Amino acid sequence: METISKAKAFGGTQGVYRHKSEACQCDMTFALFLPPQAEQGPVPVLWYLSGLTCTHQNVMDKGEYRRLAAELGIAILCPDTSPRGDDVPDEPDNWQFGKGAGFYLDATEAPFAKNYNMYSYITEELTELVAQKFPLDMSHQAITGHSMGGHGAITIALKNPERFKSVSAFAPIAQPSTAGWSKPAFEKYLGNDQSVWRAYDTTALIEDGHRIESLLVDQGTSDGFLDDGLRPWLLQEACAKAGIPLTLNMQDGYDHSYYFISTFMDEHLRWHAARL
């Protein structure tokens, strides 16, 4: 593992690291903020999964999480959204697919199955790596994310409820298997059998019996992707039928940007801290 950069912030350390990934068959980069409490011993960790077109850098620069994370004693782990490199298959003119759009799944279709294994990368490879290299209390993990990353956070938590003590999301894609900006990607990554897609669809996972203890979601009412891509009412319906307590905050006038995310980041950090 290579250290790309380290900087002190709020008594803690913001680092960026690179390593060779077996799951994605390329070099992968991630960011990790360690609060000052990590100098005394392992600290709880909150995963943040980013959205379409993003990398680890977006939330690190614009998410405004370090001040409160340092106060609460929580590490913030920010992976990339997809495999990277000249040899990774891509559609450069399609921002909804390929590099920057891994959708946190394990692809089964050629030529994408070799590299696009973000589910295994997050839940296995990167988990093992950071557990070995950093003072993290891996018995106390939480997960959140934005948009595509919100979809990733909820689906990963639904399939690993014993691992994540809490889950939240900012403007998640509630039903990616039918949304206009994600259905084509699912077909290219996973093939034509839509029953396979259910393993990476929040509402389908809930319908199929997967459960989490509770869920916090913030969604802007002025989000340009609200009606076609995000559709939080589908998540609300699925949680109501399954008896999953959902706190859905429709935030008046907010859009899909990091202005929205940074505004409500503190509330999400406190939500997770209470459960960690």
Active site residues: 147, 223, 256
Q: Structure tokens of 127?
A: 């988990």
In the three-class reduction of DSSP (H, G, I as helix; E, B as strand; rest coil), residue 275 is classed as helix
Number of neighbouring beta carbons within 10 Å of residue 3: 9
**DSSP one-letter code for 142:** E
> Strand 215-220 vs strand 246-251: parallel, antiparallel, or unpaired?
parallel
CB–CB of 225/256 below 8 Å?
A: yes
Ranges of beta strands (E only) in 40-98 are 43-49, 75-79
Separation CA 199–CA 159 (nearest Å)? 9
Q: Which residues contact 250 (CB under 8 A, 6 or more apart)?
A: 219, 220, 221, 232
Q: Which residues contact 45 (CB under 8 A, 6 or more apart)?
A: 74, 75, 76, 77, 130, 136, 137, 138, 140, 141, 142
Separation CA 184–CA 131 (nearest Å)? 35
Separation CA 90–CA 27 (nearest Å)? 16
